[in-house]
Amino acid sequence: MTAETTAPDHADVRVVPPLLYAVPLGVGLALHAAAPLTIPGRPGTAVLGGALVVGGALLVASAAGTFRGRGTTILPHRPVATLVTSGVFRLTRNPMYVGLAAAYAGVAALLGSWWPLALLPLVLVAVDRLVIAREEPYLARAFGAQYEAYRRRVRRWL
């Protein structure tokens, strides 16, 4: 007797993506408090940081609003109702993750710390491996040729 396995009707993401950004950011800021590695160039870095935080937040909000407008979920552990390819999704397949990365970098620049920036590549690898690597096969199963055409047309990040 063999056990039949079926893929779940969702991306099977096991971590809340914003935590992949928030936890390392907190660690970076704690490291900065313990052993400061200050970014030079004030007040320019603060202005750049503020712009990145605002721009990242607007990108996340726009993507979330597009999902809501299309009647689908932003939660990657729930089934999606439709493939969203409009709005900011015309520019990147992952505008929420791009926006969170921009906001993360912005907080580091705003506060003037190299520590969170040093951790950012690890954050991006974690998002790629723990989230996107589960989302993309799910979307390919759920939307087939429509998703493949979208994937060929639009870059993953930028």
**pLDDT tier at 5 (50, 70, 90 boundaries)?**
very low
Query: What average pLDDT score do residues 35-46 get?
Result: 95
Q: Give the pLDDT confidence of 117-157 residue by residue, as tens digits.
A: 999 999 999 999 999 999 999 999 999 999 999 999 999 99
**pLDDT tens digits for 66-78?**
999 999 999 888 8
- What is the pTM (predicted TM-score) of this model? 0.91
Cβ density class 87-119: b for 16+ within 10 Å, e for less: ebbeebbbbbbbbbbbbbbbbbbbbbbbbbbeb
113: β partners:
38
Domain total in the chain: 1
Asked whether residue 148 is domain-assigned, the answer is yes
Q: Give residue 3's pLDDT.
A: 43
Tell whether 62 is covered by a domain. Answer: yes
Q: Is residue 120 part of a domain?
A: yes
Mean pLDDT of 12-36: 95
pLDDT exceeds cutoff 90 at 115: yes
Residue-level pLDDT at 12: 82
Q: 21, exposed or middle or buried, with CB in 10 Å at 0-12, 13-18, 19+?
A: buried
Beta bridge pairs of residue 38? 113
Residue 8 has a pLDDT of 60
- Domain with 90, as residue range(s), is 42-153
Tell me whether residue 67 is in a domain: yes
Label residue 7 by pLDDT band (50, 70, 90).
low
* Residue 2 predicted with pLDDT over 50: no
pLDDT digits (tens, 9 = 90+) for 58-110: 999 999 999 999 999 998 888 999 999 999 999 999 999 999 999 999 999 99
5 within some domain: no
Average pLDDT of the segment spanning 46-57: 98
